[in-house]
Chain A
Amino acid sequence: MRTAIAIAAAVFLSGAAMPAVAQPQKAASVTISVKNHRFQPAELHAPANVPIMLHVKNLDSTPMEFESVSLRVEKVVTGNGEGLIRLRPLSPGRYNFFDDFHQQTTGVLVVR
């Protein structure tokens, strides 16, 4: 019985001592727009090693497809619509992306 109590106390104390470990990482929020088939801004910035919520606003009347091999995402955003892309925590670096429906429309996410 005393062993069980000791184990329970140890588990409780270890949890209380490391609240940061149990909490989910707070996501960074970044927004980009597309107008006249150009990303605005063409270069985005985000912090490293935290999840990123990337909001994509398509201000054109035609659909676009946000795509990036290095970010490993693709998402179609309807004309005059919005899309939300959840990115995994990223290492520092430059991550290129483009509109797969208009291949000249390119941008880069800089993670620091």
Chain B
Amino acid sequence: MRFVSSPTAAVAALLFVATGAVAHAQDNAQNNALVFRDVETKYIFGFTEGSGIGLEGEKEFSLDTEAKIGKRDGRYWASETKFEYEFTPSQYVQFELGPFMSIDSIHNVTGFDDQSQVGFGGVFGEIRYLLLDRSAGQPLSVTLSLEPEWRRIGDNGGEHENSFELEAKVNADVELIKNRLYLGSNLLYEPEATKDPDGIGAGWEMESMGGVSGALSYRITPSVFIGGEVWYLRHYAGAWFNEFEGDAVYVGPTLFVQLNPKMFISVAWNVQVDGSEEDNPDAGLNLEEFSHNRAKFKFAVEF
């Protein structure tokens, strides 16, 4: 098992502590008798998405950054920041859409071209449909989400490409303690088609990813959730899990802070603790298709 000891991790840890402390102070100042109201679970689990679909009539703008950090050697950073508009037109359906920006800083990494770029990465959309509603005596809630995405910059190596992917997820969560403790899980299937990635006229190359996650999130104050999550991801050649290429296990902490009634942040840090590569059986981690660490930071404003 390997853990990260980089300045980036230290900054992330400081951010975790600082935001939690600020929100805790706000809770104490504003609300002597702490009230734990019902909560939207969508963003309380880090990379794992909860089943929440927002409130009918609610609109939200957010900056949502996911970064991949570290390979076997050299310096590696590849991030995408979504400029996301989200709205909920009914009590069952939610939509999201927007462009995203790619930032790549890749130097001296074996098997990757050096990249140093900031650019328009592509566009995405998402529809979420509530399949099973939580109610009294029934703590489970389940949502199905479909997220098509067009990308012009590769999310692993930063190379220019023309690709389409569809991220299909089942998002489920269970309220273990009323308004305090939640267990979340995702089931992921993500096929992707890239047009002639090697520039040799080979047509569309297909790949796919499958995954499952589990996450716990505990509400320590009305505004702050802390927790942890585990992800198991498998990568394949072919759109239908045709040929196994490798897998990875990530674990890490999560934080959600409601800054005020219309603003929140969600932060997560995942470390790869196990993995395998088909082409490199001796590797203890999969650093070919996956990064050593990954981070998520989302800042959202509702209106």
Check: B56 CB closer than 8 A to any chain A CB.
Answer: yes
Say whether A91 contacts B135, CB under 8 Å: yes
Secondary structure call for the B interface:
loop
Say whether, besides A75-B57, A100-B261, A93 and B37 are in contact (CB < 8 Å). Answer: no
Choose, from A1-9, A25-33, A35-43, A62-70, the stretch at the interface: A62-70
Check: A60 CB closer than 8 A to any chain B CB.
Answer: no
In angstroms, Cα B134 to Cα A87, docked, is: 15
Say whether, besides A69-B39, A69-B40, A74 and B136 are in contact (CB < 8 Å). Answer: no
Say whether, besides A87-B91, A91-B135, A98 and B37 are in contact (CB < 8 Å). Answer: yes
Enumerate chain A residues within 8 angstroms of B38, measured Cβ to Cβ: 68-70, 96
Enumerate chain A residues within 8 angstroms of B58, measured Cβ to Cβ: 74
In angstroms, Cα B179 to Cα A94, docked, is: 14
A-B contact count (CB 8 A): 44
How distant is A52 from chain B, measured CB to nearest CB, in Å?
Answer: 11
Partner of A88, one of B40, B57, B91: B91
Check: B300 CB closer than 8 A to any chain A CB.
Answer: no
Partner of B55, one of A67, A92, A93, A94: A67
Say whether, besides A91-B138, A92-B136, A73 and B37 are in contact (CB < 8 Å). Answer: no
Say whether B37 contacts A96, CB under 8 Å: yes
Check: A90 CB closer than 8 A to any chain B CB.
Answer: yes
Secondary structure call for the A interface:
strand
Say whether B91 contacts A93, CB under 8 Å: no
In angstroms, Cα B40 to Cα A67, docked, is: 12
Partner of B136, one of A68, A87, A93: A93
Enumerate chain A residues within 8 angstroms of B37, measured Cβ to Cβ: 69, 96, 98
8 A-B pairs with least C-beta separation: A93-B136, A69-B38, A91-B135, A74-B55, A72-B91, A73-B56, A70-B38, A88-B91
Given contacts A73-B91, A74-B58, A94-B136, 19 further A-B contacts (CB under 8 A): A68-B38, A68-B55, A69-B37, A69-B38, A69-B39, A69-B40, A70-B38, A72-B88, A73-B57, A74-B55, A74-B56, A75-B57, A87-B91, A88-B92, A90-B135, A96-B37, A98-B37, A100-B261, A103-B261
Q: List 20 A-B contacts (CB under 8 A).
A: A68-B38, A69-B38, A69-B39, A69-B40, A70-B134, A72-B54, A72-B55, A72-B91, A73-B55, A73-B56, A73-B91, A74-B55, A74-B58, A90-B135, A91-B133, A91-B138, A93-B136, A94-B136, A96-B38, A100-B261
